[in-house]
Structure 1
Amino acid sequence: MRRHIQIASRLWMNVLAQSTDGIRKLEEGAKSLRAGAHTATERFDHLHPIISELFHTLQDFLEKMAKKFLNLQSGRDQGTLGNMKIQIQRTNVNGNVKSRYKAHEDFVVTCGLSYFLSYIMHHFNMATITDSPKHNIITEGLSNWTNVNKMKVFNTVMEEILTDLYIQFDVQGMEQDDSREVEVTIQEHETLQCYQYTANVTDGKNVNIPLNINGCDLVVVTNLESLKKGCSLKVVNTEINVTLKTVEKNDDLLNYVKNFLQWFFIIVQMKDAIREGDVKRISIVLKNMIPFFYSHSWLSKYLTECIDYILKTEHTLSPYMSLKVQAGSVVNPKGRPGKNKAADIQKENEVKLLKTLIRSLGANKTEKSIVAITKAAPEIFRITENFESMIKLKAVKSSQKAKSMADDIQILLGKINPLDIWTRHHDRQLQQKVPRSPFAFDKAGLIYIIEITVKLLLRDLPVNNDEDEENEDE
């Protein structure tokens, strides 16, 4: 068979050799093939830092989350992360996410699950976590229903949960924030029996005033600024005078928890997408991350990284290269030891901290010497283990063991549930003020920053990022 292939190859080369044009085309084709392969390699090597940045992005997102919600100076505020850290004795959580990423990630997930389970227990009227859920559409014979009817029940329940917990980003304007409420005073009128209830501020500008006039319920909408000064409203062909009595009664704890859950949902989504290798879902989560990074700072480095990744994988790269980059986001393309970029990045940050400690002690250790010592660690461990067995040294055992996440969640639920987080209380104040929505910023500014960043990236120009953030990564 090989002999036949060789003969056929020679015959084909002889035919081409008889034509100068054929030889020229053959050389040009080979040259083009080599150039194309070289260009593709260069393009992928150029994209390799982008792949590594994906896990840095998740780490930085968690760090921004810790800065926003973990206030170690307000441990007395019940229901906050600072207080929950004390309740479950997480001494390794100190706010320094870069050096203790895994500890902070585990703590955030534990707190997020505790908040979510406390809502589930409240929504389904469950006294304990093992109780059966109680709902008007959940009946005893539900397990015997067909899958179609079960799915209808599931969709109804999920719609209720998402409506209560999930805050959708609306690029058109401000989200309605039902956490702001005002009290309105109505002047007595001779011909009207008028009663007013607590009014809601819908969009930061308008106020919905629910009224009961002569036994008839209606809602009057007026401007917040006009209401502060005092104004007249024409109701049932009669003018009534209304003034603002108390402004912005907020439930700080409920706002804090709802805002935290929006960040928590992103963390969970990204962790699941990476674990499952779902490259399409990773792109969706990165898009969702953009307004969160912008809410921290419009100069955020990782806001640019998210835009850059999406721009390349969905617009500028070919379908083949795009898929290659997306697959490389969850697989180590070099195949070196570890094969886990998230763990490698964590270890890298730990080594940086260790090197700083070693140098601060006066030891002039270079990176080369640290690597050499690290390589010798397995042999040193075996020698030590063999020596201990020879002298019959007994291993010292400790009765201490790490608590499971389930145990910590049970402890936190015992502290959270009595707070009745999911019922609005107008007198709950926290030292740490957090708005209900993480998107309480100017949407036009976000769109402008995205457009400018895209233009700079397409022209391969540097994007101005926050210097403080870059220094944190070093």
Structure 2
Amino acid sequence: MSESGQNVKKKNTDECLVCSKPPYQSKKISSKLLDFSIRDLLLKYGGISKDKGVICRNCERRLETLHKKTVEFYDECQSAARKDEFITPVVCNKRLPTSPLVGFHPKRASLEINEDFQQPSQHASSENMFVDLSSNAEPSNKGIPDHSYAGETITPILTQRENNVGTCIGSDHDYVFRNRNTLYNPVLPDVTTFLKTTTPSRSNNHLNQEEKSILINVIQNDNNIYGALMKMDNFRNGVISELCSEIDSSISTMGNRKLLFVSELMKKDVSSLKSLEWSKIIKEMMEKLPVLCTLLFSTMLPPQQRSCYTKIEKVIPKAAFVYAILMQSRNIELSRVQRMVSMLLMDNICDQKVYDRLQPLGACLCYGRTLTVVDLIGGSFNHHLIDNLKLKRFRIIGDNVNWKTSVHDERIDNKSHMEHAFASAVIVQNTDFSYLHMPSPFHCTMQVNEFRDYIPNPNDIQNIKYDYTILIARVLQNHIPFFRQFKDVIPNEISSPISDKLKQKSRVIPLAVLYKNEQRYQDVVGILDYYEKVVEDVFSSVGKNMDDVKIHIGGDLLTRERFSGAKNLRAHHVDPKEKFSHLSPITFELFHLLMNFLTMTFKMLYSKESGAELGTLKSFQDRISRSNVGEDVKNKYDADKDFFISVVDMHIVECILHYFGMESVSSVPTVHVPPSFNNLEEKRQWLFETIGDVISKYVLSDSNTNECWTEEAIKVNGQPVVVQLTDGRKVTLMKKSKAPKYDYVKNYAQMMLELGLLFKDLMDMIKLPERTRGIRLLKVAMLYFKSHKNLSKYAFDILRFLVHQLILLSEKEANEEFYGLFVNTNGHFNGHIPADLAMEHLVKKVKDHLKHMFSNKTESNIMNRTKALGAIRDIAENFEKQTKVIVRAKKHSDKSAADDEKIILKDLRKLKPFKFEAGRAHEHFSKIPSTIVNQLNTSHYFEWIEPRIQMFATEIGN
């Protein structure tokens, strides 16, 4: 109570300055503690600068304990330094991503200004070491992404002068302390003496009387003044001292952001790492450190090359890199180049030991710091994605990622098991179809659309015959010299590019790998929720309304089915985002279609027991010893595809040799001999008509071309009946046998051509996509799939895709869906691959990174690492562009199959499969038809198509 009887409010000074609680027992900070003022200790260890106040008893004891331990540790270090021995620190925490975070604030845990200390750092000093005394052993690096040791605390370590501290090398699991490197001991005194001699202080740089006399004489005579002056030791040392002082003063401003200058080496955000330019670093060195720049280029180039642009540009990256190493040695925050080099190593998945070996040289960061940078890049993934997708059309593709986790000690509750995750990627679309008709044609075409629109019409057959003619002509160019005269009339490409933008290289941006299993619908729903969030983030960043947004998604056949099923599960929701309305259309992908088509072909034409039957796939495999070929196309696709194409090409050659009556590839035609041509048009017309006739006869032939009816004369009393016609001619009456005889060997060869040419046509269309060509080829593929197997899933999905193209989508949307199935990998018109094949390449890269993570495969670590892959790839591509890195092929060029194909052709020449011989058959293919369509029930096929047109046009999971 005051004198007036009123309550007096308690002063703020009655609260503890550390814990801000009213103390039960307190002491003024002006009092002494262990011969030191409490005020000074609070400033030293806690960063609290107060002249007045109190501290509670609890905080006083903690401060006293901290000070005692610090003094004891400092005394140990001093004692070790005097004995020239290293004392291993008592405490070293595993999880220490920077220095002991002296004076560290969580806001500094950003990519831009985070210091690149080796772990743990050797750059801390006792003068600026602050500890939060009010914390209860909380980790001081809160906010920094963790890798292995979340939950462990950081114990501050007070270090001594740098030359007395051992080197601490970080690894992925623990930190190993090494003793000070004594290998440098013999040279250390020499270096120290050299630096003292060559860089003396200004006070020691006085000219003696003799040197002054020489100086006056040189100035008066003006004869080689610079050379004479530099011969004076004191003068030369004085110049060096001045230059060193100039360098010191320039470098001292490099790390100060308050002077309106930010060094190029200080810019360490993601965008800066992706846009590093050596020329800008060189410009900074010329402006800030001209002496150093002159010395570097003078050392690297002889005098006669210092004015040559070609020579200078070759050493610019080297000079900039040397400058970056020097600056980072002086100021550890100038580490932009080191971070970039670390990302280059990460892009190539180098072993962690590479980082730790190059870090002491100043070339990169240590492995632990690199992981932190990767996490920070992953944390900025949304900005990276949005920057790449602003105002651009894109689609999303996904695929499962499966790997096996083995255990070292197997127990009943600890066994090896499979892990399942899901990888996705955004494919930026280069083509623009905004000029096409937008309204959906569904209502106006549904009534007139019939099953006939989904089977090949005569115009489709004619166009396919044109495709096959060019494909056959290409084979003849390579194998029959006579036909090389027609090279000038064979077009280079079958398809015509719809736009010049089709030539642009596609951009594929990896999304985060989700710990989701596509075999569970609840996980698939989570994947689509993630896709919706990505779409929302992208469009909200540009302020675009999402009402009319449709994003094409897809994957292999299983993924497509799961996506459509998950969308059906959410159909009852009202919110468009909840019902995945923005994720449409959903399609299958073409790489898996090709794989399934080849699987179907091997089931029809390959048998392990048919090796002794000349002319079968198995016999050719044995003849050329292709041990990697087999029925398991899913795991042997590349080998099976290569082998199958070689066999098909040799069947084409054999068919042409038979048709033109040629004995070998080096002979000339004896049948269907070409006439002389007056112009290119005549040559072209003859070639296309002749090869078109071959296709009609042996590839797209009728079912009755390979059958033969045996005949015998009608006899009466043992004599043939001869009838005289009105024109005087006499004929013998004959009768046919009850059943025709077939040549099943020829049927097998024609089936090989029929399936092989469609397979080659599909692959050629994928290289240079064309929508009209793709639709007619898919019609034929659906027909073949359905002929082979009535319940074919790919026939079902092709029909669904055709309904999208012909009914459900507008012309604009149909083109966007079709061309979204491809990825341009090299910036050429014919440089496309299926989108799911690009996804397979990404999955392989993801698995390589997962393998390199060793035991740290937690869900958060996997997401952070995979989110950063796109930005890391951008950093590497920019470096390769800036440095003009040689692009080397990662695999050997394809070895020619010419020798193998000669063996195959030799067997075919012996077999003559295209010459009809009634009754021939391969034992294991004794009833094979001449065309796969013979196996199709036509009426059932039409009945199968009609009801599904309506079903696919109205399904919710489109």
- Which TM bucket (shorter chain)? 0.5 to 0.7
Determine if the alignment matches structure 1 residue 94 to structure 2 residue 630: yes
Counterpart-to-counterpart distance in 2, 1:78 and 1:305: 37
**Structure 1 residues without counterparts, runs of 5 or longer:** 1-29, 169-174, 197-210, 219-234, 359-363, 376-399, 464-474
Seen in structure 2, the aligned counterparts of structure 1 residues 370 and 419 have a Cα distance that, compared at 3 Å, is farther
Say which of 424, 439, 442 aligns to 2:933.
439
Deviation at 1:137, TM superposition (A): 4.2
Q: What is the TM-score normalised by the length of structure 1? A: 0.63
Secondary structure in 2 aligned to 1:277? coil
Note if contact 1:283-1:310 (Cα within 8 Å) is conserved in structure 2.
yes
Q: Deviations over 1:265-314 (max 9, x none)?
A: 11011001001122321111101111100112121110011111111122
Distance 1:43 1:217 in 2: 77
Change (3 A) 1:349 1:187: farther
CA distance, structure 2, for counterparts of residue 60 and residue 366 of structure 1: 33
The residue aligned with 2:715 is 188
Equivalent pair of 1:101/1:346 in contact (CA under 8 Å): no
CA–CA separation in structure 1 for the residues paired with 2:788 and 2:769: 28
TM-score by length of structure 2 reads 0.33
- Which residue in the other structure is 1:269 paired with? 761
**Which one has the largest radius of gyration?**
2
After the TM superposition, which of the residue ranges 90-99 and 454-463 deviates more from structure 2?
454-463
CA shift, 1:328, in A, is: 0.6
1:73 partner SS: coil
Q: Who is 1:178 aligned against? A: 705
CA offset digits 1:421-442 (Å, max 9, x no partner): 1211124221213111211122
What is aligned with 1:244?
737
1:121 paired to 2:654:
no
Q: Which residue of 2 aligns with 1:37?
A: 548
Asked if the contact 2:706/2:743 (under 8 Å) is kept, the reply is yes
Question: What's the secondary structure of 1:46's corresponding residue?
Answer: strand
Matches of 1:111 and 1:419, distance apart in 2? 14
1:454 aligns with 2:454: no
Which residue of 2 is the match for residue 343 of structure 1? 837
2:607 to 71, 75, 82: 71
1:164 is matched by which residue type in structure 2?
K
Distance 1:370 1:268 in 2: 43
Measure the CA separation in 2 of the matches of 1:264 and 1:92. Answer: 20
Unaligned residue ranges in structure 2 (runs of 5+): 1-539, 553-579, 826-831, 867-891
What amino acid is the match of 2:942?
A: I
User: How far apart, CA to CA, are the structure 2 residues paired with 1:250 and 1:369?
Assistant: 65
Q: Between the two structures, name the one with larger relative contact order (CA 8 Å, sep ≥ 6).
A: 1
2:679 to 139, 143, 146: 146
Does residue 163 (structure 1) correspond to residue 696 (structure 2)? The answer is yes
SS at 2:584's partner residue? helix
Partner Cα separation in structure 2 for residue 283 and residue 158 of structure 1: 24
**Residue pair 1:186, 1:243 contacting (<8 A) in 2 also:** no
Instruction: Find the residue that maps to 2:817 and give its secondary structure.
Output: helix
Q: Which whole-Å deviations, capped at 9, do the CAs of 1:147-196 have from their partners, x for residues lacking one? A: 2322332243123212222226xxxxxx4422222324443147995489
User: 1:438/1:412 Cα in 2 relative to 1: closer, same or farther (>3 Å)?
Assistant: same
Q: Could you tell me how far 1:317 is from its partner in structure 2? A: 0.5
Cα contact 2:633–2:640 (8 A) shared by 1: yes
The verdict on how the C-alpha distance between 1:320 and 1:407 changes in structure 2, with shifts beyond 3 A counting, is same
1:328 is aligned to: 820
Preserved CA contact (<8 Å) 1:124 1:135: yes
Contact 1:298 1:449 in 2 (8 A): no
**Cα distance in structure 1, aligned partners of 2:908 and 2:860:** 50
Match in the other structure for 1:414: 906
1:54 aligns with 2:547: no
What is the alpha-carbon root mean square deviation over aligned residues? 4.3
Letter in 2 for 1:255: N
Return closer, same or farther for 1:135/1:183 CA change in 2, 3 Å cut-off: closer
**Using the alignment, how far apart are the partners of 2:645 and 2:805 within structure 1?**
29
Distance 1:310 1:153, change over 3 A: same
1:113-171 per-position Cα deviation (integer Å, ceiling 9, x unaligned): 010101111222223223333444414x44xx212322332243123212222226xxx
- What residue is the counterpart of 1:392 in the other structure? none
Amino acid at match of 2:906: G
365 and 131 in structure 1: CA distance in 2 versus 1, 3 angstrom threshold = farther
The residue identity in structure 1 corresponding to 2:948 is T
Partner SS state of residue 607, structure 2: coil
Contact 1:99–1:349 under 8 Å retained in 2: no
Instruction: Give the structure 1 partner of residue 434 of structure 2.
Output: none
Give the aligned partner of residue 69 of structure 2: none
Structure 2 CA distance for aligned equivalents of residues 75 and 368 of structure 1: 50
**Does the 8 A contact of 1:99 with 1:346 survive in 2?**
no
Provide closer, same or farther for how the CA distance between residues 271 and 39 of structure 1 changes in structure 2, counting only shifts above 3 A.
Answer: closer
Shift in alpha-carbon separation, 1:290–1:97, aligned structure 2, 3 A: same
Deviations 1:393-428 (A, max 9, x none): xxxxxxx99752222211111111011112111242
2:793 is matched with 301
- Give distance in 2, aligned partners of 1:405 and 1:457: 44
1:60 offset after TM fit, Å?
0.8
Write the distance in 2 (CA, Å) between the matches of 1:83 and 1:295: 26
Q: 1:110 aligns to what? A: 646
AA aligned to 2:940 is G
Secondary structure in 2 aligned to 1:34? Answer: coil
Is contact 1:193–1:214 with CA below 8 Å preserved after alignment? no
CA distance in 2, matches of 1:439, 1:420: 24
Alpha-carbon contact 2:807-2:953 (below 8 Å) kept:
no
Letter in 2 for 1:167: L
User: Is the contact between residue 707 and residue 740 of structure 2 (CA under 8 Å) also seen in structure 1?
Assistant: yes
| Partner Cα separation in structure 2 for residue 339 and residue 265 of structure 1 | 19
Compared CA separation, residues 366 and 415, structure 1 to 2 (3 A): farther
2:784 maps to 1:292:
yes
Alignment of structure 1 residues 337-416 onto 2, 5 Å: 341=835, 343-344=837-838, 403-416=895-908
Higher helix residue share:
1
Give, as a single letter, the amino acid of the residue that structure 2 aligns with 1:59.
Answer: M
Distance 1:350 1:69, change over 3 A: farther
| 2:591–2:837 contact (8 Å) kept in structure 1 | no
1:234-275: per-residue Cα shift (whole Å, max 9, x none)?
x8xxxx9x5736x33221210101012111111011001001
Percent identity of the aligned residues? 19
Question: Which deviations, in whole Å up to 9, do the C-alpha atoms of 1:87-138 show, x marking residues without a partner?
Answer: 1111111111111111111111111001010111122222322333344441
* Cα separation, 2, equivalents of 1:371 and 1:281: 41
Larger displacement relative to structure 2 (147-156 or 62-71): 147-156
> 2: CA distance between counterparts of 1:437 and 1:195?
40
Question: Letter of the aligned partner of 1:417 in structure 2?
Answer: R
8 A Cα contact 1:138 1:153, kept in partner: yes
Letter in 1 for 2:746: L
What's the CA shift for 1:37?
A: 3.5
